[in-house]
């Protein structure tokens, strides 16, 4: 059981983790930390956290587990602030969507990647943000990917693994670079497509009419374009190489589909759609 959990960044992800662990009885006390005092007060009012500090150094005092739930662009700065101030036996972990950049940030901030730092990424979320959007069931039957390094302490890894299991998640492990490649394809690229499509339509002269007649398929596909722009900007910059590679690959396939449409090749179009349907039906039940 975690005696004192410190969550730096009490929004949807951090807030939902706190709720889940409290509901499971796996955490005695949760201390929140962030720049927006009103949001911290709101988190305390909702019972998501028990106390809060705006100074990260004060927030981590006495914490046995510290979770960094801040945007990727803020990771290194927060880590530099915490360097030398964590308890000797404290476990540090994060929820960042691009693990290579987080590991690089840890190395820059601490001089090396601490053995009690366990990089992690919950594959869960909604298009909403903020502590008011948090809920205890967010991680139920969702996957959390941990990307421990060769020197990561086994005890620290076990604590983080159990924390996420108590939150309701299925925990798996993956190599850092492989994680970033996989997530570029399955999470980052879909967000890029949704953002780009909505932006394209919003800049058309007939935008009001276009959005007025948008049906359920459009709303379902573009729901994630309501996600936090700052967070996704940071993800783009942090995992730029893998995301660019996936955009290039998709762009080539999209051009192929366009050419089939232009030449009226119904067979080629149907083959693409049939493959896509079979894959979607097989893997996304």
d(CA 188, CA 178): 14
Q: What local confidence, expressed as pLDDT, does residue 208 receive?
A: 72
For the segment 9-13, the average pLDDT, to the nearest whole number, is 95
Q: Is 70 left (phi over 0), alpha (psi -120 to 50) or beta?
A: beta
Q: How far is CA 77 from CA 102, 105, 108, 115, in A?
A: 11, 8, 10, 19
In terms of Cβ atoms closer than 10 Å to its own Cβ (0-12, 13-18, 19+), residue 231 is buried
**pLDDT value at residue 38:** 95
**Selected residue with higher pLDDT from 230 and 80:** 80
- Of the chain, the percentage scoring pLDDT greater than 70 comes to 100
Report the pLDDT averaged over residues 9-38.
96
Residue 129, pLDDT score = 87
pLDDT over threshold 80, residue 105? yes
Return d(Cα 136, Cα 22) in angstroms, integer: 9
pLDDT value of position 203: 87
Tokens in use for 54?
Answer: 């705006």
Identify the pLDDT of residue 284. 81
Q: Is the pLDDT of residue 217 over 90?
A: no
DSSP 8-class letter at 171 = E
Average pLDDT, the chain: 95
pLDDT digits (tens, 9 = 90+) for 150-181: 999 999 999 999 999 999 999 999 999 999 99
| pLDDT for the residue 144 | 98
Q: Name the percent of the chain lying above pLDDT 90.
A: 87
Structural domains in the chain? 2-174 (3.40.50.720), 178-283 (1.10.3660.10)
């Amino acid at each position: 059981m975690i005696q004192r959990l410190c969550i730096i960044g009490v929004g949807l992800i951090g807030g939902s983790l706190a709720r889940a662990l409290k509901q499971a009885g796996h955490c005695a006390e949760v201390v929140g930390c962030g720049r927006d005092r009103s949001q911290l007060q709101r988190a305390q009012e909702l019972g998501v956290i028990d106390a809060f500090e705006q100074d990260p150094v004060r927030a981590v005092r006495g914490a046995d587990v510290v979770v960094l739930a801040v945007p990727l662009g803020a990771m290194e700065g927060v880590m530099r602030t915490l360097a030398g101030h964590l308890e000797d036996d404290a476990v540090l972990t994060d929820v960042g969507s691009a693990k290579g950049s987080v590991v690089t940030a840890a190395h820059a901030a601490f001089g090396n990647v601490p053995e009690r730092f366990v990089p992690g990424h919950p594959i869960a979320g909604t298009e909403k943000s903020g502590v008011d959007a948090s809920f205890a069931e967010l991680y139920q039957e969702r996957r959390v990917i941990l990307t421990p390094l060769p020197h990561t302490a086994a005890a620290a890894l076990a604590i983080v693994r159990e924390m996420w299991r108590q939150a309701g998640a299925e925990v798996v492990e993956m190599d850092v670079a492989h994680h970033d490649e996989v997530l570029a394809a399955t999470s980052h690229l879909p967000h890029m497509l949704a953002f780009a499509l909505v932006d394209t339509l919003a800049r058309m002269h007939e935008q009001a009419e276009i959005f007025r007649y948008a049906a359920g398929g459009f709303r379902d596909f573009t729901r994630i374009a309501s996600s936090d722009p700052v967070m996704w900007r940071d993800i783009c910059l942090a995992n730029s190489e893998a995301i660019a590679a996936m955009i290039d690959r998709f762009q080539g396939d999209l051009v192929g589909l366009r050419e089939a449409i232009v030449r009226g090749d119904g067979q080629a179009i149907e083959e693409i759609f049939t493959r896509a349907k079979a894959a979607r039906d097989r893997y996304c039940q």
